[in-house]
Amino acid sequence: MIPILKKNRKKELILPKHIAIIMDGNGRWAKKKALPRTAGHTFGASNFKTIAKYCSKIGVKYLTVYAFSTENWKRPEEEVNSLMLLFKEYLKEALSDFQDENIRVKVLGDKSAFSEELQELILNVEEASKNKDGMVLNIAMNYGARSEIIRAVKLLVNEVQSGNISIDSITEEMFSKKMYTEDQPDPDLIIRTGGEYRLSNFLLWQSAYSEYVILNVLWPDFKTKDIDDAIEKYSNRNRRFGGI
């Protein structure tokens, strides 16, 4: 049974089990205010924590946010270093400020590219929150959907070569279990801020039947009411999954 989000609106809203967000627009937000791009990321990171707590509060079971892609390493060194610092600060806060939040944190992506300190922090946060039974917060860092799919293929090829499975036995369900999201349901709703109409290499496998809501609001200006509005749009969709 899909839970219902009760709001003071004309109709009750269907609450998606899994929401994914492409958090876009930090740089443009900073430029509009004549600030450095790093300032946009700082405000964006603060807003991310607000939105994550709100999604947990209203009963979302899984929230996946696109924080840093495999392509983002191409950005200026100063900007990349700023993003890594923000990520480190968030992880430290997650070990303290998020203690009372019933949120399980998982980092999706290739962690090997991060510093040893950052990798240790990721491990500590995931370990500290692993027994929490509330919302699962997936943070996609050094994540790229194409890389994720290639990784899944290699894992299955290894199993075939080891004789554990046959090629003919490979199914969609088996492939899904090799993705970073493993046993999690696919996103019901994907929200992209910043007004761009593209996936940007995000959850290509998992988003086959996701509903999309594109918003012109830049990520630092994204509010909890925008989550509600996106859920309302989602509630008005007729999800047929290829049927009638």
Output the tens digit of pLDDT for each of the chain's 244 residues. Answer: 345 555 555 567 899 999 999 999 999 999 999 999 989 999 999 999 999 999 999 999 999 999 999 999 999 998 899 889 888 888 888 777 667 789 999 999 999 999 999 999 999 999 999 999 999 999 999 999 999 999 999 999 999 999 999 999 999 999 999 999 999 999 999 999 999 999 999 999 999 999 999 999 999 999 999 999 999 999 998 777 666 6
Which pLDDT does position 139 carry in this prediction?
A: 95
Q: In this predicted structure, what is the pLDDT of residue 124?
A: 92
Q: What is the Cα–Cα distance from 136 to 17, expressed in whole angstroms? A: 11
Active-site residue flag, 97: no
Q: What is the dihedral of CA 214, 217, 221, 226, to 10 degrees?
A: -50
d(CA 180, CA 145) in angstroms, rounded, equals 10
Q: Give the tokens for residue 54.
A: 């709100």
Pick left, alpha or beta for residue 43 (phi over 0 → left; psi -120 to 50 → alpha; otherwise beta).
alpha
Cβ atoms 58, 16 nearer than 8 A: no
d(CA 235, CA 106): 27
203-206: long-range pairs with CB below 8 Å, 24+: 203/20, 203/64, 203/145, 204/145, 204/146, 204/148, 204/149, 205/145, 205/148, 205/149, 205/152, 205/175, 205/176, 205/179, 206/176, 206/179, 206/181
Q: Is 24 a catalytic residue?
A: yes
The CATH fold assigned to 17-232 is Undecaprenyl pyrophosphate synthetase (3.40.1180)
Cα separation, 72 vs 117, in Å, equals 20
Instruction: Give dist(CA 136, CA 200) in Å, integer.
Output: 23
β-pair type (13-14, 4-5)? antiparallel
- pLDDT for 6 equals 53
Q: Are 191 and 203 in contact (CB under 8 A)?
A: no
How many whole angstroms separate alpha carbon 96 and alpha carbon 40? 24
Q: 114 — phi, psi (to 5°)?
A: -85, 165
pLDDT at 8: 53
pTM: 0.91
User: Which is the catalytic residue, given 24, 26, 142, 188?
Assistant: 24
Catalytic choice (8, 47, 72, 110): 72
Res 179: pLDDT: 97
